Homo-oligomer: A and B are copies of this chain.
Amino acid sequence: MSKRIVIIGGVAGGASAAARARRLSEDAQIIVIERGPHVSFANCGLPYHIGKEIPQREKLLLHTPESLAKRFNLDVRTRTEAVAIDRNAKTVRVKDQVGAISQIAYDDLILSPGAGPIRPNVPGSNARGVFTLRDIGDMDAIIAYIDEHAVKRAAVIGGGYIGVEVAEQLACIGQKVTLVEALDQVIAPLDPEMAGILAEELRKHLTLTLMKRFERIRTDDAGQHATGVILDDQSVVEAELVILGLGVRPDVSLAKNAGLEIGKLGGIAVNEYLQTSDPHIWAVGDAVEVRHLPLEQQALIALAGPANRQGRMAADNILLPRKKSYAGSLGTAVVRVFSKIAACTGANEKQLRRLEKPYVPLYLFPGSHAGYFPGAKSIAMKLLFHPQSRTLLGAQAVGEDGVEKRIDVLATAIKGGLTIDEIAELELCYAPPVGSAKDPVNLAGMMMQNVADGLVKTVAPGDVVQAKPDDAFLLDVRSRQELDRLGRFRSAVHIPLDELRGRLDELPKDRPIHVFCQSGLRSYNAARILSHHGFDVYNVTGAATALRLFQAVANPGS
């Protein structure tokens, strides 16, 4: 009765599945097929060895094929490629490193092929010095190339997670780096104004080129080595090293050729149990389409966390009597960009707009811990919520400290279906060096309550920046000292909050009033006062700080 489980792919999802399967069944036969020479390595760590922040290469190899095989009593076959699946015979045809073909029978098959980097077929893309970064071999090749060719200048194409991480690490080892991104922002899971904070940070350390598309690679006269990249405005980025970080595409050829169902987005289709259209074939990780929970639609989410947990779950569902369901993903992610951390979970505003889902955006800029204790750092937070159902749809945060903590808590709240009222009432850690009596998460919940309860009307800072003077009256209630120190907004009229009750006659009743301060709290007080006196008042969510973010977005190339 011992099961024969064949796993294709020996990293993240595949390695997790193999280890879990063995823990569940001491007598299962477990065969791991891996195309490359390495198994169970730390993909996410690759940029950091290039940048020498992880000095020891062996740290990335969590297991050798031999140690993995011994620890879990597995049959691990590296440098072996699965070339076809015969679903009727329940066999996989594999080709080993010398080209020998063999058949492996399975009772259950787990596909964990991952997603491969997109490599555009443009002139020069096969020149030496042009790399993608997916595995240990790519990393070794990049490091060797930098050394051998005394590389001084690097172009990184694509401002997604990998592009930004590689660009940061190359800058850290003294490379002159140009990061090229076709969109008007880096890190697409963030909204543009939040990504703008990262753009500013990146520009302190490297050249960031937004809204220019990479067109081709320039090579030396022999056509051998890359010497730069040419952008769509025909400008040239001088670089001996080019890293392509143009995103990834699920590796579905094996699944497709076996006739398994492929989803609309190009990933392997699986049911809630992670079963493909063939009940004896399971699929996990970057290659599968999952349910995006707040967007309520399928998504491709190439992240290590879900891959690992899906691998474990596939093994559970093969070997345990009670099947577990994969509830879907939030796309929770984090990236460090020099001294900044950016994190997000759930839906962003671009996605909600595209799908025409109702939402309200909200910004806040709380400190990482109690303001009276030294060292607190401001966190830029953006929340997207649905006031009628009182649910949170997504959250983004950028700052230096305490960023991922708040996103982790909010991701937990979304996953658990907590209402905004429950978020306002969360009981989180507070001691002066660590948190605040009203944690940023509580504050966010309270602000969402105020909107949902109709206590305050808000206007998005992006709309304020675009509004014409006749559309609305812009009121700044900050103190005079703040204006002197931080600058004023030309289009705004200034009345400090503490004078507001006595100067109501200076305000119009024929137009909406958009009111802001520095943090959003005093303008909320102001909005309550004005509303009481019959003004049509809207609190600018995110206040002056958010307005500045949107002014920066209006001019992303700068």
Q: How many copies does the complex hold?
A: 2
Which B residue's beta carbon lies closest to that of A397? Answer: B429
Contact A429 B343 (CB under 8 A): yes
A-B contact pairs, 20 of them (CB 8 A): A23-B455, A24-B455, A26-B529, A45-B370, A55-B374, A59-B371, A71-B497, A305-B428, A307-B437, A327-B425, A332-B427, A333-B429, A334-B434, A334-B435, A404-B428, A407-B429, A415-B418, A416-B416, A416-B418, A416-B422
Q: How far is the CB of A558 from chain B (nearest CB, A)?
A: 28
Q: Is the pair A446, B312 in contact by a Cβ cutoff of 8 Å?
A: yes
The answer to whether A372 touches B54, judged by C-beta atoms less than 8 angstroms apart, is: yes
Among candidates B341, B407, B412, residue contacting A413 with C-beta atoms closer than 8 Å: B412
Contact in complex: B432, A411 (CB < 8 Å): no
Residues of chain B within 8 A (CB-CB) of A417 are 416
Q: Across the interface, which residues of B come within 8 angstroms of A45, CB to CB?
A: 370, 372-373, 432
Known A-B contacts A12-B437, A53-B374; the reply to A48 vs B432 at CB < 8 A is: yes
Contact B407 A412 (CB under 8 A): no
A515 at the interface (CB under 8 A from B): no
**A442 proximity list for chain B (CB < 8 A):** 305, 309
Q: Is A336 an interface residue (CB 8 A)?
A: yes
Alpha-carbon distance between A322 and B307 when the two chains are bound, in angstroms: 44
Interface residues of A in 344-397 (CB under 8 A from B): 345, 370-374
- Say whether A434 contacts B372, CB under 8 Å: no
Contact with B along A408-447 (1 / 0, CB 8 A): 1101110111100110111111111111011101100010
| A125 CB to nearest chain B CB (Å) | 28
Residues of A whose CB lies within 8 Å of any CB of B are: 12, 22-24, 26-27, 42, 44-45, 48, 53-55, 59-60, 62, 70-73, 161, 165, 303-309, 312, 320, 322, 324, 326-327, 329-336, 341, 343, 345, 370-374, 404-405, 407-409, 411-413, 415-418, 421-422, 424-435, 437-439, 441-442, 446, 453, 455, 497-498, 501, 524-525, 528-529, 532-533
CB-based contact B431/A336 at 8 Å: yes
B residues near A326, Cβ cutoff 8 Å: 425
Question: Cβ of A409 and Cβ of B409 under 8 Å apart?
Answer: yes
A470 to chain B: closest CB distance in Å? 28
User: Apart from A62-B372, A332-B429, A411-B426, what 8 extra A-B contacts exist at CB < 8 Å?
Assistant: A22-B525, A44-B431, A53-B374, A54-B374, A59-B371, A305-B442, A343-B429, A409-B409
**Chain B's nearest CB lies how many Å from the CB of A46?**
9
Residues of chain B contacted by A12 (CB below 8 angstroms): 437
Shortest Cβ distance from A346 into B: residue: B427
Tell me the dominant secondary structure on chain A's binding face: mixed
Give which listed residue, B404, B422, B424, B433, contacts A405 with CB less than 8 A. B404
- A165, A333, A408, A413 — most chain B CB neighbours (10 Å): A408
User: With A and B bound together, what is the CA distance between A182 and B404 in angstroms?
Assistant: 39
**A343 neighbours in B (Cβ, 8 Å):** 429, 434
Give the contacting residue for A336; candidates B424, B427, B434, B437; CB below 8 A. Answer: B434
A438-B308 contact, Cβ under 8 Å, with A525-B71, A528-B26? yes
CA distance in complex: A138, B29 (Å): 70
For the complex, give the distance between the alpha carbons of A438 and B23 in Å: 17
Using A334-B429, A408-B429, A428-B305 as known contacts, say yes or no to A324 and B421 having CB atoms under 8 A apart. Answer: yes
Select the residue from A305, A309, A434 with max chain B CB neighbours within 10 A: A305
Across the interface, do A453 and B329 meet the contact criterion of CB distance under 8 Å? no
Q: How far is the CA of A324 from the CA of B320 in the complex (A)?
A: 44
Chain B residues contacting A439 (CB-CB under 8 Å) are: 305, 408
Instruction: Name A437's contact: one of B308, B424, B524 (CB within 8 Å).
Output: B308
